[in-house]
Structure 1
Amino acid sequence: MNEWLTDFGMFLAQLVAVVVIVTLGVMVVMRARGGEGEQARLRVEELNGDRRRRRRRLQLAASEPGARKRLQKAFRRDDKARGKQKGEAAGTVWVLDFHGDLKASATGRFAGEVSAVLDVAGEQDEVVVRLESPGGLVHAYGLAAAELDRLRQAGLSTTVCVDKVAASGGYLMACCADRLRVAPFAVLGSIGVVAQVPNLHRLLKRHDVDVEVLTAGRYKRTLTVFGENTEEGREKFLEDLENVHGLFKHYVAERRPDLDIEAVATGESWYGQQALSRGLADEIGTSEAYLVERMNEARVVSLRLERRQSLAGRLGLAVSHGVECGIERVVEGLEARGWQKR
């Protein structure tokens, strides 16, 4: 047993040494490359062609062996006819995706995609945004909504599709579209503002710990985590929340003028059909169904900006993944030995 522990200790020491050496090498290479670590590349995919290829594969799979050659000839004739009619498509449908977190971290990438579309889109084109977000920070989603607003300001037809949720900051973005389509059980609304601040003042006071909060400006700090909060501070904090709520309501009401904003700006959320009946959405349906419908009339193109990592970055990820897998195998081996002994 002692020999096994010694061998295992030596193995771990060697593993750590290798990881440290490789990590240092990666850091040196990355530092030498400076700002060349990541580059953005635009990934473009025509969804019409993908759907057509899937349909043909299924047709071939479902047909009798003798009929497959006839089907393939029919496919080639269809491709020739499609090539002649290619210039007759009624515009292009550009598809963007936004999956939001608390900080709306995807906003930078989304802004680049909007700029790319604006560079090439024509008057007949449409932009479809598949949006999923439960909301988050006010300033972060305000910026994300402003990026979506650029499409309308440019005169492009915009449709936002929500399959799961567009609440709070997510709805702040969704209301910017000309048309808002939601799945039957998608969650919309939550037009409200929330903030919570824990306060440890009494706990610290009980242990004779004083906290000095020094400010210049009457309302530089209203509520604090460690200091003693006052009624004046609470009133000012609530006033600030109401101010943000008023801006939220005004923003939504401007973009959806037929909406009874006071009736829906209660912080509540509603599911698809309920949201439709309250004027928060325009139609019921999934994003997939809408895109399939548009494929019958126009070219549907999905685009996404992707960060392309350097060789050093990919090497670092590979090393990290290898180390994690190695540790997992060691732990699994130890657990297996333990079960065998029991």
Structure 2
Amino acid sequence: MEQTMNDIPTPPTPSSSVCQPVAPQQVQVCLTHKSPSLLGRLVRSMAWWLLICSLVLNVCLLVSAAKVSKDGLAWEVLQRGQADQIVAVYTVRGIIDSDAVKKFTEFYRFADQSSKVKAIVLRVVSPGGGVGASEEIHHMVEALKNTGRPVVVSMGSVAASGGYMISAPADEIFAENSTITGSIGVIAQVPNLQGTMKKIGAEMITFKSTNADRWKDMLSPWKPVKPLQRERMTVLLDELQSQFERIVKTGRGKKLKISKGKYHETIGQGPEARRVAKTELIPFNGKAYLAGEAKALGLIDEIGFLEDAYRRAGELAGLTEPSVRRYKPKGSVISQLFGQQSASVNIDLSLGALDKLQSPRLLVLWTGD
């Protein structure tokens, strides 16, 4: 007897298969889904546990590597040695402001009170900053030197103006070949916003007491600077310059080579322009120098790197097995894992920001101009 397709029995379907219903006269198609084997599930589970354990281990290693002193400073070992023969390294980096002073003060207190710290290496990577902030750090560096322990400076890519001021008290100064240093001078900056105020149709009205009328709003960004005020500001800057020069002379002593230089300056414009001969005192003329020229002028002692500086500090302290440790303010675990936060632009429209905008800034700063 002839059999039709409908008469052919359908084979049993495995429990792990999913069969799609089909119309008569069509071949039935089954899709089989294999369940993960016990071995596969075990491998995936182990992979996840290994990943978690690896992350935890990395965090533990990072935290243990960045040891913390009793004063809350994090430190790392640059060279192993005796624990009671510490050469303490600290870096002043970036603009020298109140925050830099606060951080350095923590290190200063630790180094000043620790009997295990036998020498200090100050790593300077800074173009300078505020006059007051630079002078404060200079004072602390000088105080560390006065304890009788060697202080050696290692200059990075730039250690100019205020960066040089804080370096001056050191027993010896090392700079790299490409280091920019010097720039011994003082500037004052204040923005001129008169044109902006006219464009937006605004005006700043200032009331002054009678006796302070001439000087109280000197260098205001809202009005032109009077010749008398400009002269007064020059007197103030010259006095600060003299203080800066005394700091350098005291720190460098007979190593410093001071000389007079001559140059010509063009005064006036057009047919009335004339060249005037002037003199300047080198190296106190605000000029920036590379390491080779700075060494010739006695601004630095040697051309070398951080390793040379802390090796020399150990020699000056008479250490046989110095332990070189780099100290820095303690950060959070997150900051240690992922580094510093990315730079961002913040626009501050507070009254405090307006006050800063109006106030002249007295700076010992190399601007690259």
Q: Shared fold by TM > 0.5? A: yes
1:85-234 to 2 correspondence within 5 Å? Answer: 91-103=85-97, 105-121=99-115, 125-201=118-194, 204=197, 210-216=203-209, 217=212, 218-234=214-230
> What is the percent sequence identity of the aligned residues?
26
The residue aligned with 1:329 is none
The residue aligned with 2:322 is 299
**Counterparts in 2 of 1:46 and 1:201: CA distance versus 1, 3 Å:** closer
Alpha-carbon separation, structure 1, partners of 2:199 and 2:110: 59
1:249 aligns with 2:242: no
Question: Which whole-Å deviations, capped at 9, do the CAs of 1:21-47 have from their partners, x for residues lacking one?
Answer: xxxxxxxxxxxxxxxxxx972223332
Count of matched residue pairs: 240
The residue aligned with 1:45 is 76
SS of the residue corresponding to residue 195 of structure 1 reads strand
Alpha-carbon separation, structure 1, partners of 2:169 and 2:155: 13
**Counterparts in 2 of 1:204 and 1:251: CA distance versus 1, 3 Å:** same
- The answer (yes or no) to whether the contact 2:310–2:324 under 8 Å persists in 1 is no
Give the C-alpha shift of residue 265 in structure 1: 0.6
**Counterparts in 2 of 1:204 and 1:128: CA distance versus 1, 3 Å:** closer
Query: Which residue of 273, 277, 280 maps to 2:296?
Result: 277
Query: Which residue of 288, 311, 332 maps to 2:307?
Result: 288
- The answer (yes or no) to whether the contact 1:213–1:227 under 8 Å persists in 2 is no
- The answer (yes or no) to whether the contact 2:121–2:154 under 8 Å persists in 1 is yes
Alpha-carbon separation, structure 2, partners of 1:254 and 1:290: 21
- The answer (yes or no) to whether the contact 1:93–1:298 under 8 Å persists in 2 is no
- The answer (yes or no) to whether the contact 1:100–1:170 under 8 Å persists in 2 is no
- The answer (yes or no) to whether the contact 2:94–2:127 under 8 Å persists in 1 is yes
Alpha-carbon separation, structure 1, partners of 2:79 and 2:218: 55
One-letter amino acid matched to 1:43: A
**Counterparts in 2 of 1:155 and 1:229: CA distance versus 1, 3 Å:** same
SS of the residue corresponding to residue 125 of structure 1 reads strand
One-letter amino acid matched to 2:322: R
- The answer (yes or no) to whether the contact 1:141–1:169 under 8 Å persists in 2 is yes
Of 148-157 and 252-261, deviating more is 252-261
One-letter amino acid matched to 2:321: A
**Counterparts in 2 of 1:120 and 1:102: CA distance versus 1, 3 Å:** closer
Give the C-alpha shift of residue 219 in structure 1: 2.3
Task: Point out where structure 1 has 5 or more consecutive residues left out of the alignment.
Answer: 1-38, 50-81, 325-342
Give the C-alpha shift of residue 203 in structure 1: 6.1
Task: Point out where structure 2 has 5 or more consecutive residues left out of the alignment.
Answer: 1-69, 259-280, 345-369
Alpha-carbon separation, structure 2, partners of 1:113 and 1:203: 44
One-letter amino acid matched to 2:108: V
One-letter amino acid matched to 2:233: F
Give the C-alpha shift of residue 162 in structure 1: 0.6
One-letter amino acid matched to 1:101: I
Alpha-carbon separation, structure 2, partners of 1:290 and 1:202: 51
As a proportion of its length, which structure holds more strand? 2
SS of the residue corresponding to residue 79 of structure 2 reads helix
Question: Which whole-Å deviations, capped at 9, do the CAs of 1:39-59 have from their partners, x for residues lacking one?
Answer: 97222333223xxxxxxxxxx
TM-score under structure 1 length normalisation = 0.61
